[in-house]
Chain A
Amino acid sequence: MTNARIGAASDLAIDLADVTKMYAGRVHALQGVAMQVRRGEIFGLLGPNGAGKSTLVKIMTTIVRATTARGTILGAPVGHRPTLARVGYLPEHHRFPQYLTGRQCVEFFGAMSLMRRTERRARAAEMLDVVGMGAWGDRRVGTYSKGMQQRTGLAAALVNDPELVILDEPTDGVDPVGRREIRDVLLAMRDQGRTVFLNSHLLGEVEMVSDRVAIMLKGKVERQGSMAELTDDSRRWRVTIEGTAPAWCAEFARVSPLLEQGSGGSARHAVEFRNDDIAFVQSVIDRLRAEQIAIVGVREIRESLEDLFMRLVRDVDGRAKAVGAGNVNTGTAAGAGAGADAKGGR
């Protein structure tokens, strides 16, 4: 599934339709983005540099004005400011006031989210503990490392007990231990019923925690759905057998060359079925067994998120080149190399 509506409006934390953004100079950063994020899920947004991810996030948080935008955030129209009190946002490359302590900073953003003093003080202390900054909360932000600033930013994004948390590269500059901790925080947020919108370059990170993802390319959502939904097209079954595959297998399956040496010195081959009908696979297994062929394993094979991502990038680039051959002006902001996306992917 791609852009089809996935539920009633009340079930959706984010429901966008036809979001466009044209910057000066006719740079078309977003070209009719439609996206649905369910309440209580972690939703990952993927895309290469220049795909329009940050522009979309900034439109949702009113930092950038959309050229057109239909849709809702937490049930209110996009741009409805009072609703932002229930949204937490951690921008990429955020810069907090250096003269404030971490605690003052978190409390300040709590106040800006309309929290009253007593509750924001208690909540700031709690959130600093959650992100592992409790012991450092009374030192100035200017003395923090990048990772500490990122953790403080996360605490500031969570201080207002948000229903929707939008995180732009939350693990940027954080060490592996910190990344793991932040991942745990994201999962805990989902368990508490919050919606987490995660914009990240890190495919592995997104794949690990997200319930559903969207892949944006050149200002459009190319795919969105759960991992299973996105990779369903690529699902197939692989049967590994001892010895050589019978010739009839080649009619409906791809037989791979020697996979590995078996225990008795015999060769192992894999038979990969082109269709994902498990009943059909069962019948083939029965036939193989009837022919006394030893079956070592049966496994479901799917395209990884990275493979899917790279395939989409290549497809879209190919399409753009084909169009570009006849029409040089593509009118998109997405020009950065798609290969840059996969930076740190796995």
Chain B
Amino acid sequence: MHPLHREKLDAGDLAVQTWAQFVSAYRELNARKLFWVALILNAVVIGAVAAIGIDEKGISIFGYALGIPGVNSRLFPDGKLYKLIITTVGVSFWLSWISTILALLSTASMFPDLATGGVDTLLSKPIGRTRLLLTKFATGLLFTALQVSVFAVLAFLVLGIRGGVWEIGLFVVVPLMVVFFSYLFAVQAVVGLVTRSPIASVIVACLFWIFVFLVHSGEQFTLFGATASRLEIEGMEKKLASLQTEEAKSGLAAKLEEQKANDGNWRLAHGIFFAFKTVLPKTTETANLVARELDVRVNNAPADEEPQQDDENARRQRGFFRSQFVTEKKLSAEIQKEMDARPVWWVVGTSFGFELALLGIGVWYFRRRDF
């Protein structure tokens, strides 16, 4: 009997094929200049973070004091400055935008290639189309996984050596950014499979990303409005209870009724955006989970103090409606509370739901197609 005679493939067979595809994908990345450029840029970004110094006297770059008043290790204790820079510049800007765009460009031809010349020999092997497509998809995440792993290791070392904090939680950035990239890569993969055009797949993925960002911005804007409106109503009701004269009460009561009418509109608008956002991938929130994990917020002071109406500082703090009752600080704290209350399963789970649905369409298409 032939040594490769099989009635059914076993786990060892699946492992051999999967490993071979990952090794091949790594070799593909290795052959691409863009991969190495991105890797060097990763080191440059972290190197720039490492160049920043902070002590009791202040902040410096390459040993040169910047002389920014108040910014010192008392304000940012325990490596918090490094965490802040790593999460804002490193994760929210570098990894979430630049590195992701490089990854999309680098993997753009993967699925169009699969749908054209390279697929015949693969399909003639003992591997099902579903597994072939999903393994290919997983290998496409290798670019981001390797890039972010290098970023995480370097950031971990900088945070430890320069900030004195060995923050193992930093490595959560690896799975989170891979998940983040996978949302967009799923779009790129399916478009690439159907159109067989790398350019079209990158363009559609980027347009989709912008669309998701706009929906997120809309949701955030309406959340801002709805929260501000709620706080305004609460403030008015509190004030109303404290007023003595009927004349003053009736004036404020009229404003309160008007505000309540507006409040319904804000809630409705936010509800629509929120529902829409729920079914879409949550790119920004996924990236922000890193900051949530590392707890980089600097100002955790209570935000519920009453505004002092005649105080210059309080006027500067006035909120969204130039309100007499809601400070920006309190509004920000409420929104932050709302955002933090959104569970990780909702952020990642619903995004995965979208991704799986999209990949399901891709698998359905790939299984039906003749090559």
Residues of chain B contacted by A5 (CB below 8 angstroms): none
Report A-chain residues with C-beta under 8 Å of the C-beta of B7. Answer: 82
CB distance from A215 to the nearest CB of B (A): 24
- Contact assessment for B121 and A104 in the assembled complex, using a CB-CB cutoff below 8 Å: no
A252 to B19, CA, bound (A): 72
A96 to B370, CA, bound (A): 19
> In the complex, which of the residues A64, A108, A114 contacts B9, with contact meaning CB atoms closer than 8 Å?
A114
A186 to B238 Cα, complex, angstroms:
93
**CB < 8 Å: which of A63, A83, A91, A119 contacts B126?**
A83
When A85-B4, A97-B24, A99-B27 are in contact, do A112 and B125 touch as well, CB less than 8 Å?
yes
Which residue from B31, B116, B370 sits with its C-beta under 8 Å from A63?
Answer: B370
* Alpha-carbon gap, A85 to B4, bound state (A): 6
Instruction: Determine the distance from Cα of A201 to Cα of B88 in the docked complex, in whole angstroms.
Output: 63
Nearest Cβ distance between residue B87 and chain A, in whole angstroms? 35
Q: Which residues in A have their C-beta under 8 angstroms from that of B24? A: 97, 100, 104, 108
**Chain A residues whose C-beta falls within 8 Å of the C-beta of B123 in the assembled complex:** 61-63
CB-contacts of B1-49 with A (<8 A):
2-9, 13, 16-17, 19-20, 23-24, 27-28, 30-32
Contacting residue for B124 out of A89, A96, A104, CB 8 A: A89
Stretch from A155-163, A253-261, A264-272 contacting the other chain:
A155-163
Say whether A224 faces chain B, with CB atoms less than 8 Å apart. Answer: no
Does B120 sit within 8 A of A, measured CB to CB? yes
B62 close to A (CB within 8 Å): no
A114 touches B121 (CB 8 A): no
Please, how many angstroms separate the alpha-carbon atoms of A112 and B19 in the complex?
10
A114 vs B16: C-alpha distance when bound (angstroms):
6
Query: Complex formed: what's the CA distance from A112 to B371 in Å?
Result: 19
In the assembly, what is the distance between CA of A96 and CA of B28, in Å? Answer: 12
**B128 on the A face (CB < 8 A):** yes
Known: A62-B123, A81-B127, A84-B124. A114 touches B4 (CB 8 A): yes
Let me know if A63 and B371 touch, CB within 8 A.
Answer: yes
Contact B126 A85 (CB under 8 A): yes
Provide the bound-state CA to CA distance between A95 and B109, in Å.
Answer: 14
- For B101-142 the 0/1 string (1 means CB < 8 A from A) is 000000000000000111111111111100000000000000
Contact between B8 and A82 (Cβ–Cβ < 8 Å)? yes
A94 and B120 contacting across the interface, CB-CB below 8 Å: yes
| Cβ–Cβ contact B118 & A97, under 8 A | yes
Residues of A within 8 A of B6 (CB): 82-83, 85, 114
User: With A85-B126, A109-B125, A116-B16 given, is the CB distance from A64 to B4 under 8 Å?
Assistant: no
Please tell me if A70 contacts chain B, counting CB pairs below 8 Å.
no
Given A82-B7, A160-B4 in contact, is the A112-B122 Cβ separation under 8 Å?
yes
Option from B5, B9, B28, B126 in Cβ contact (under 8 Å) with A97: B28
Q: Name A97-115 residues within 8 Å CB distance of B.
A: 97, 99-100, 104, 108-109, 111-115
| B8 x A63 contact (CB < 8 A) | no
Across the interface, which residues of A come within 8 angstroms of B23, CB to CB?
A: 108
Q: Are the C-beta atoms of A156 and B126 separated by less than 8 Å?
A: no
Cβ contacts under 8 Å, B13 to chain A = 114
- The size bracket of the interface on A is 35 or more
B120 touches A86 (CB 8 A): no
Chain B nearest CB: distance from A219 CB in Å? Answer: 15
The answer on a CB contact under 8 Å between B2 and A91 is no
Return the CB mask of A148-167 against B: 1 if under 8 Å, else 0.
00000100100011010010
| Selected contact of B120 from candidates A81, A91, A161, CB within 8 Å | A91
Residues of B within 8 A of A23 (CB): 370
Q: Distance (Å) between the CB of A88 and the closest chain B CB?
A: 9
Contact pick for B16, options A64, A94, A109, A111, CB 8 Å: A111
A59 — nearest CB in chain B belongs to which residue? Answer: B370
B9 touches A82 (CB 8 A): yes
C-beta contact mask, B263-280 vs A, less than 8 Å → 1, else 0? 000000000000000000
- Are A94 and B126 CB-contacts (below 8 A) given A111-B17, A114-B6? no
By beta carbon, the residue of chain A nearest B128 is: A81
Bound Cα distance A63, B117 (Å): 12
A58 adjacent to chain B (CB < 8 Å): yes
Q: How far is the CB of B111 from chain A (nearest CB, A)?
A: 14
Report the bound CA distance from A119 to B3 in whole Å: 11
Provide the bound-state CA to CA distance between A309 and B32, in Å. Answer: 49
Nearest CB on B from A74, distance (A): 9
- By a CB distance below 8 angstroms, the chain B residues around A83 are 6, 126
Beta-carbon contact of A64 and B371 below 8 Å:
yes
* B117 touching A95, Cβ below 8 Å: yes
Chain B residue at minimum C-beta to C-beta distance from A89: B124
- Report A54-86 CB contacts with B as 1/0, cut-off 8 Å: 000010011111000000000000000111111
Q: Give the complex CA separation of A116 and B3 in angstroms.
A: 11
Q: Shortest CB–CB separation between residue A85 and chain B, in angstroms?
A: 4
Say whether A114 contacts B124, CB under 8 Å.
no
- How many angstroms from the CA of A143 to the CA of B67 in the assembled complex? 57
CB < 8 Å neighbour of B4 from A62, A65, A91, A113: A113
Of all chain A residues, the one with the shortest Cβ separation from B120 is A91
Contact at B2–A58, with CB atoms within 8 Å?
no
The one of A95, A111, A119 in contact with B20, judged by C-beta atoms closer than 8 angstroms, is: A111
Q: Is A46 an interface residue (CB 8 A)?
A: no
How far is A161 from B16 in the complex, measured between Cα atoms in Å? 17
Q: 7 A-B contacts, Cβ less than 8 Å apart?
A: A58-B120, A62-B123, A82-B9, A108-B23, A111-B19, A153-B121, A161-B2
For the complex of A and B, list the 3 residue pairs with the smallest distance between their C-beta atoms, beginning with the closest: A95-B117, A111-B20, A99-B31
Residues of B within 8 A of A (CB): 2-9, 13, 16-17, 19-20, 23-24, 27-28, 30-32, 116-128, 368, 370-371
Q: Known pairs A85-B6, A112-B127, A116-B16. 15 more at Cβ < 8 A? A: A61-B124, A63-B120, A63-B371, A82-B6, A84-B125, A84-B126, A86-B5, A94-B117, A95-B118, A97-B27, A97-B118, A104-B24, A111-B20, A114-B6, A161-B2
